[in-house]
């Protein structure tokens, strides 16, 4: 597989022989795509999506909004932003990224996205993590607003919330169910 400057033919053959889907991992996270406000860098993600298309692989986008993995500018900007300003920044990011890969704009298709990644408190599994830049700037509704932005950007997309131990921990699983309600 080839993305950026790395190339490993044995790994490429392994992936193509054993998988029908690949995940973007860090290539679609905020810090990789928008290291400076309004200046998106899609080169590596474009290369991954093009690779997937050439080899008839699906792509799972991971992750649009996350409690971690941000450059400095969102921390500084959101600290002094109003709720509406923070929402505008979040919506712009999600809309720009999801629309680019909606299969209609010449950059390929990422049909499935982890819209919000790990929103629950790692120390108190039944509660949302209130110590993220989006929760502090917007409040709990940042999750719903992120999903609305993703849906508006790609009507046919499939959007999910990603968190760990949901399948094995009853408290965490119930917290997700409660959030969905």
Q: For 118-157, how does the pLDDT look when each residue is reduced to its tens digit (9 = 90+)?
A: 999 989 888 999 999 999 999 999 999 999 999 999 999 9
Do residues 38 and 124 make contact, with C-beta atoms less than 8 angstroms apart?
Answer: no
pLDDT in tens, 52-71: 999 999 999 999 999 888 99
Q: What are phi and psi of 7, to 5 degrees?
A: -155, 125
Residue 109, pLDDT score: 97
Residue 180, pLDDT score: 85
Enumerate residues 6+ apart whose C-beta is below 8 A from 45.
Answer: 24, 27, 28, 32, 33, 101
CA-CA-CA-CA torsion sign (113, 117, 120, 126): positive
pLDDT in tens, 5-53: 357 899 999 999 999 999 999 999 999 999 999 999 999 999 999 999 9
pLDDT band at 92 (very low <50, low <70, confident <90, very high): very high
């Amino acid at each position: 597989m080839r993305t950026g400057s790395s190339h490993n033919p044995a790994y490429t053959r392994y992936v193509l022989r054993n998988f029908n889907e690949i995940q973007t991992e860090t290539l679609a996270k905020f810090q990789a795509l928008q290291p400076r406000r309004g200046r998106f860098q899609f080169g590596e993600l474009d290369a991954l999506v093009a690779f997937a298309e050439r080899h008839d692989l699906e792509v799972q986008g991971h992750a649009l909004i996350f409690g971690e993995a941000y450059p400095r500018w969102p921390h500084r900007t959101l600290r002094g932003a109003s709720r509406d300003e923070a929402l505008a920044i979040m919506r712009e990011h999600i809309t720009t990224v999801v629309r680019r890969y909606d299969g209609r704009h010449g950059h390929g298709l990422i049909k499935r996205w982890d819209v919000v990644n790990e929103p629950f408190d790692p120390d108190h599994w039944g509660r949302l993590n209130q110590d993220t830049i989006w929760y502090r700037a917007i409040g709990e509704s940042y999750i719903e607003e992120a999903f609305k932005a993703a849906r508006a950007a790609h009507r046919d997309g499939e959007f999910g919330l990603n968190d760990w131990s949901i399948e094995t921990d009853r408290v965490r699983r119930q917290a997700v169910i409660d959030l969905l309600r």
